[in-house]
Homo-oligomer: A and B are copies of this chain.
Amino acid sequence: GDTITIADYLLERLTQLGVTQLFGVPGDFNLGFLDYVESHSKVEWVGNCNELNAAYAADGYARVKEGSIGALLTTFGVGELSATNGIAGAFSEHVPVLHIAGVPSTSQQKSKPMLHHTLGDGRFDAYYKASQQFTISQASLTDAASAGAEIDRVLTDCVVSARPVYLMLPTDLVHEKIPAKRLRTPLNREPPANDPESEEFVLDEIMKLVGQADEDIIILVDACAGRHNVKAELAELVRKTGFPVYAAPMGKSVVPETYERYGGIYVGSISRPEVREKVENAKLILSIGGLKSDFNTGNFTYHIPVQRTIELHSDHTRIQFAAYHGIGMKHLLPKLTARLQPLHEGARQLVVPKFDAPVPTEDNQIISQAWLWPRVAQFFRSNDVIVTETGTSSFGMLDVPLPDGAVYVSQILWGSIGWTVGSTLGAALAARELGLGRTLLFVGDGSIQLTVQELSTMIRLGVKPIIFLLNNSGYTIERYLHGYNAHYNDISNWRWTSLLSTLGGVEGTNCQSHIVKTKDELDALLKNEAFAKADKIQLVEMIMEKHDAPKGLKVQAELSGKTNKG
């Protein structure tokens, strides 16, 4: 038709962006909108157990469904504020998430009655104001005339900047009709073009440094290469130039870790010595999408002089000490590749250390951190989606290479524990839709307690992740940071193997729980085909030592313990 309700307009725009699932929790200020969702043919409603988990799910969905966005719907005040941490995390980690809050009608927002879910003092804009701290763009819909343009504005900002945005959707406006015409013009999804003259200048400057580098150039892949939708451009650069490639922790698996010219993870002084040597001694480092946070840099221990660094970012470029604002990598990369391609022959001569992680032989049956990660790495298959929680898991996984096409999901800058449980739901739904492999979650006994209820949503929706639960009697990562034996790092032990059946699963039918206490038991389970084919949701409780941690974590903890004191 010529007109469309605002609700359907929004749902159409989401559909155009590839959104097939809307996460959230109902509430009386969004129920009217939910009727439109329920009748919509493309967007499916995923009711979550709580709003924080919903935000995490939208984040995980967006990470796996590259080029699309995550979307969540909450209710005024109580719902939206519960999602705050999830939204702030998406901001911090450059994840495009649309947060729709169902809010009181436009007339109520003017007359300001003391409604439930208000602060009781007539401030109807308080949640909006808080959201400004954590989203890149906000819209409070106030009338039908501007609604379409406002929706388009925030959605465009969301996609283009890969950051969360906030939309207030009043109960009355969802039903209002607006012209459908705008929908015929798809939203812009590309970052703005670079100014040709500056871009040319930047390329020339880069080539000057390249010329001086005797082909001793390496590529360092980081977070924003994955988040700002330049994987294809990067793959071209890597393939056509043949330069050695390394990744920061947040860039893990953006370039497949099986690639023969890939050398593994560079994380400052925590890196494997052979990687550190190659990266820090290269004449020129081409950093793609760098994000130099403490845990992503071995606590700021990069030993790479700025003089030898070129940084490509989503919206600017840095060459040595100079910043070129507005020159973004999406458009720059293909041109740079074209210029660098001739160096291919020389570049191929550079030796790249092999990234492998043999399973160590230990003469005991303890499931040690040193043994676990290489062992599970052998279990991985191409296109698996691998999610690791902040804690020993996110550190441990850094040390092992992931197979071809594997998607790696972790939250190294924001580091909010519990995030993986929600995130795995979103990731698994996206993976199912995209036809990826299994979804494998590695999560600590401490972290899972924050958001555990979302397992029930996985069961309800029939996604089938394998949840590897590291039962090491509490907050091991924190023990290394502070309070090695302190009580505040202890937690209650749960009956983990009855979790799935308590939360709605039927053991043996649509869920399966396992407990492993020894290397042999875990080994046997990983070799079991019925287990590995992951045809139901599974939880594996792994009994581990309280005071065991991956080596990288031990070093990091020492370094950051010092920092926190200063």
* Cβ-defined contact, B117 with A415, below 8 A: yes
Chain A residues numbered 471-508 whose CB sits less than 8 Å from any CB in chain B:
475, 478, 481-483, 486-495, 498-499, 501-504
Nearest B residue (CB) for A479 = B31
A262 CB-CB contact with B under 8 Å:
no
- Chain B residues, CB < 8 A from A504: 492-495
**Bound-complex Cα distance A107 to B120 (A):** 38
- Chain B residues, CB < 8 A from A490: 47
Closest CB in chain B relative to A455 CB, distance in Å: 10
A134 CB-CB contact with B under 8 Å:
yes
Give the number of times this chain occurs in the complex, counting copies. Answer: 2
* Cβ-defined contact, A120 with B78, below 8 A: no
Q: Which of A291-299, A337-345, A375-383 contacts B (4 or more CB under 8 A)?
A: A291-299
Chain A residues numbered 1-45 whose CB sits less than 8 Å from any CB in chain B:
25-29, 31-32, 34-35, 37-38, 45
* Cβ-defined contact, B566 with A414, below 8 A: no
Partner of A78, one of B126, B415, B501: B415
Number of A residues contacting the other chain (C-beta, 8 Å)?
Answer: 98
Partner of A449, one of B120, B450, B453, B494: B453
- Chain B residues, CB < 8 A from A107: 566
Known contacts A85-B82, A88-B77, A292-B114; A108/B563 CB under 8 A: yes
A560 CB-CB contact with B under 8 Å:
yes
Known contacts A31-B483, A34-B483, A38-B487; A294/B116 CB under 8 A: yes
**Bound-complex Cα distance A171 to B561 (A):** 11
Nearest B residue (CB) for A123 = B133
Chain A residues numbered 288-320 whose CB sits less than 8 Å from any CB in chain B:
291-295, 300
Nearest B residue (CB) for A487 = B38
* Cβ-defined contact, A26 with B495, below 8 A: no
- Chain B residues, CB < 8 A from A481: 28, 31
* Cβ-defined contact, A85 with B78, below 8 A: yes
A129 CB-CB contact with B under 8 Å:
yes
Partner of A418, one of B50, B115, B300, B502: B50
- Chain B residues, CB < 8 A from A187: none
Nearest B residue (CB) for A291 = B120
Nearest B residue (CB) for A418 = B50
* Cβ-defined contact, B502 with A495, below 8 A: yes
- Chain B residues, CB < 8 A from A123: 133
**Bound-complex Cα distance A47 to B483 (A):** 14
* Cβ-defined contact, A293 with B108, below 8 A: no
* Cβ-defined contact, B113 with A92, below 8 A: no
A258 CB-CB contact with B under 8 Å:
no
Partner of A478, one of B28, B85, B114, B133: B28
* Cβ-defined contact, B130 with A294, below 8 A: no
Q: Which of A228-236, A397-405, A456-464 contacts B (4 or more CB under 8 A)?
A: A456-464
- Chain B residues, CB < 8 A from A499: 502
18 contacts between A and B (CB under 8 A): A26-B489, A29-B564, A31-B486, A37-B488, A77-B416, A78-B417, A88-B119, A93-B120, A104-B564, A108-B566, A113-B294, A113-B563, A115-B293, A116-B412, A116-B413, A116-B414, A116-B415, A495-B502
Given contacts A28-B482, A78-B416, A498-B498, 10 further A-B pairs with CB under 8 A are A28-B564, A32-B565, A77-B88, A105-B565, A113-B563, A114-B294, A116-B294, A130-B133, A492-B503, A499-B502
